[in-house]
Amino acid sequence: AGEVTMADLRPLSPELRSIAEAELNEVEERVPADLAALRDWLAKQPHLKARQDDQFLVGFLRGCKFSLEKTKSKLDHFYTIKTLMPELFANRTMDAKNIELCRTGTYVRLPKPWGPGGPRLQLTNYEKFDPKKFKLLDLFRYQTMITEQSIREDDNSNISGYIEIIDMAKLSVSFLAQLDFTLIKKMGVFAEKAQPTRLKGVHLINCPKEGVALLNLAKSLMPSKLQQRVSFHVYKNLEQLHAVIPREYLPEEYGGTNGRIADIQADMEERLLAYQDYFLEDSQFRVDEQLRPGKRVNADAIFGVEGSFRKLDID
């Protein structure tokens, strides 16, 4: 037996380490062997070209509680769905549009997680989203860039999952008119089958009646597994939110001390620009269905029937 190489990973905080061991079945000494087994499997997949750095792969192992079989499936789905959805995943860079979207502060990842070993908190404020300039697809594309950056950079998100806080106070009618339910459904499938970080909860604030109806509709489009795993909460106002998520975890604009949105978005812009090479390299990592052993996979097999979503009207 040769010497076991160390895995090239960021050390976890004590809080996250104990959660990883207790809840995700992570055994520190065994991680290099787990990574080696995953790379062995990848080497035998003619159709799949995946990133292979330790920090990226361990995100998938953690997201699958160190079940090698589940991790293989998740990695394959990750690249299969990305390849099937070029409109969302191809040619992502911090181009002018993404920089502009970042600077609106529509979507931010808050600096402090919900407690040292807790989930990451992310905040969407639709008031800052101009439907004349951006489509829902643009916002989702930008969100996938942040999510992907966090697979390698955000241990809280990888181990304890993440929470979405969505402020619906100023949701414009023109935005509602362009909601794309096929896209929302596909994003749900991606979140369940492909994404290694786990969505734990959705908290809606300043939610109008229409918002609740929309939420129920969006929720009904999600895979049933995701519906069961994610808890949904609706609050009429900020006070109700504070009763659940203490102020110290919310940004200054929401009565808290967890950063100022202007500073957070500037920091995110810097981080994503530092990831420019990662996104430029990304086009080479994908699946080639012609080379997949056994049955080829297409959009219908992954997402189910497309047509049934075209007719959905919101009144």
Its pTM surpasses 0.85: yes
pLDDT over 70 at 314, yes or no: no
Contact 145, 92 (CB under 8 A): yes
Q: Which one has a higher pLDDT value, 304 or 308?
A: 304
Mean pLDDT of the chain: 91
pLDDT in tens, 219-277: 888 888 888 888 889 998 899 999 999 999 999 999 999 999 999 999 999 999 999 99
pLDDT in tens, 118-155: 999 999 998 888 888 999 999 999 999 999 999 999 99
Question: In Å, what is the CA distance from 197 to each residue of 59, 104, 110, 145, 154?
Answer: 7, 25, 16, 13, 10
Q: Is 16 exposed, middle or buried (0-12, 13-18, 19+ CB in 10 A)?
A: buried
**Chain position carrying tokens 């959905």:** 312
Cβ atoms within 10 Å of 291's Cβ, excluding its own: 12
| Type of residue at 22 | A
pLDDT band at 297, cuts 50/70/90?
very high
The tokens describing 48, both together, are: 């799949």
pLDDT band at 305, cuts 50/70/90?
low
pLDDT over 70 at 309, yes or no: no
Question: In Å, what is the CA distance from 201 to each residue of 11, 49, 161?
Answer: 26, 32, 9
The sign of the torsion formed by the CA atoms of 128, 132, 133, 135 equals positive
pLDDT over 80 at 90, yes or no: yes
Q: Count Cα neighbours of 21 within 13 Å in the Cβ-side half-sphere.
A: 10
pLDDT band at 180, cuts 50/70/90?
confident
User: Checking DSSP bridges between strand 199-205 and strand 231-234, what pairing results, if any?
Assistant: parallel
- Which backbone phi and psi does 164 adopt, to 5 degrees? -105, 125
Please state, for a pLDDT cut of 70, what percent of the chain lies above it. 95
The tokens describing 63, both together, are: 């997201």
Q: Nearest CA to 199 among 106, 92, 304, 124?
A: 124
Coil, helix or strand for 218?
helix
* pLDDT computed for residue 170 by the predictor: 79
